[in-house]
Structure 1
Amino acid sequence: MAKQSDNIIKNAMILFMITVIAGTLLGLTYEVTKEPIRIQQERLKNNALKAVVFEATEFSLIDLEEGSSEQGIVNLYEATKDGAIIGYAFEMTATEGYGGNIALMVGIGMDDQILGVDVIRHNETPGLGAKITELAFKSEFEGQPVAPLTVIKGAPTGNPGDITSISGATITSVSVTNAVNVATQYFNDNMAEVK
């Protein structure tokens, strides 16, 4: 009986040591990869900023109205060229994606038109929802008025405000479009005095 008790203690100590070693290695891995991950995320965000307001030479982070983060607005950037404001870039989180949250950037120009949309991160299904990163989908937003957009099924209509759903990925298409609508609504409500 004492031998069995010794075996239990020995096995418990072995498991404890394995757990300590695994935890230490995991912590070290996190510390080693934390900075490269942050740099990569910053690079993706900067690329997205340039993609949605490509004529801008400088982006400045500006304060958001209270409650904006609940709507999915993460950050708001003022885009300038030669000291003049040419638009705004909204860093958004679309929460209703099929595969989870979708991080995207929405550019809006001072002429009340959407300049562009770029996807920063997503977990959508390859070959279906992942098509939100393709130019065919993103380009549908360019030149759209700063007004509510609607997702339609079938062939593109060319009508202002219509965004054609990705076949087999309606949930993803609607999620991105809803995030763009939040950005345009914020722009209309808060940027009127700047125009």
Structure 2
Amino acid sequence: MKKSGTANEIVKPIVVLTVICLVVTALLAYVNLVTSPIISESEKEAAAKARMEVLSEADSFDVVDAELPEGVTEAYKASNGTGYVFMLTTKGYGGDMKLICGIKSDGTIEQCKTLSHNETSGLGSKTAEDPYRTQYNGKTADTYTEVDAITGATISSNAYQKAIKSAFEAYEIVKEAK
């Protein structure tokens, strides 16, 4: 009678699977090494384009180094003094919402744009669409709350408004830091 489970029957599949895992891992690491700079450059270009969209009169931007309020991840000053752009993150109903907001030097919003979100399709996702987000255009720190919330998406609407509030708080900080 032949014994099952000899050392060769046990070790050989383990060695084969280990070699396969090592090869696949090495290939994934190589692909990451090759694509990482390309993805990073693409993200930088998309961010630069978004900054120009929300503050159209700007010629270029300089990063503002200041202590920013919660929810403001980055701040940029237009080189020609036309205003500031703020990168914002807030917690919506479905998770993080990433926004960008351009505030002109007179303290009014030129435009806000949603960069990414996980809000409920058809409800919270409407915060990323023009009828809602364009309500903020021309608003100031005193009037940004005078917008209509999206029916059935109160959490998403409130989160968007909270991000805009953070942008105005950051605006007050960075305009003083000239």
Partners of 2:123 and 2:135 in 1: CA distance: 17
State the match for 2:82 in structure 1: 86
TM-score, normalization: structure 1? 0.79
The structure whose residues are more often strand, as a share, is 1
- Provide the identity percentage: 28
Report whether the alignment pairs 1:22 with 2:6.
no
Q: Is the 8 A contact 2:85 2:100 kept in 1?
A: yes
Report whether the alignment pairs 1:177 with 2:161.
yes
SS of the aligned residue for 2:6 comes to helix
Q: Is the 8 A contact 1:106 1:114 kept in 2?
A: yes
Q: Is the 8 A contact 1:105 1:117 kept in 2?
A: yes
Partners of 1:3 and 1:41 in 2: CA distance: 53
Question: Relative to structure 1, is the Cα distance of residues 145 and 43 closer, same or farther in structure 2, using a 3 angstrom cutoff?
Answer: same
Flag structure 1 segments of 5+ consecutive residues without an equivalent. 150-160
Alpha-carbon offset, residue 53 of structure 1: 0.7
What RMSD, in angstroms, separates the aligned Cα atoms of the two structures? 2.2
Q: Which one has more relative contact order, counting CA pairs under 8 Å at least 6 apart? A: 2
SS of the aligned residue for 1:164 comes to coil
SS of the aligned residue for 1:32 comes to helix
Flag structure 2 segments of 5+ consecutive residues without an equivalent. none
Larger radius of gyration: 2
Residue identity matched to 2:72:
I
Partners of 2:98 and 2:40 in 1: CA distance: 15
State the match for 1:142 in structure 2: 137
Alpha-carbon offset, residue 192 of structure 1: 4.4
SS of the aligned residue for 1:107 comes to strand
For residues 34-183 of structure 1, the aligned pairs below 5 Å read: 34-65=36-67, 68=68, 71-81=70-80, 85-94=81-90, 96-147=91-142, 149=144, 161-183=145-167
What is the total number of aligned residue pairs between the two structures? 176
Q: Is the 8 A contact 1:147 1:184 kept in 2?
A: no
TM-score, normalization: structure 2? 0.85
Partners of 1:25 and 1:121 in 2: CA distance: 30
Question: Relative to structure 1, is the Cα distance of residues 36 and 170 closer, same or farther in structure 2, using a 3 angstrom cutoff?
Answer: farther
Partners of 2:73 and 2:160 in 1: CA distance: 14
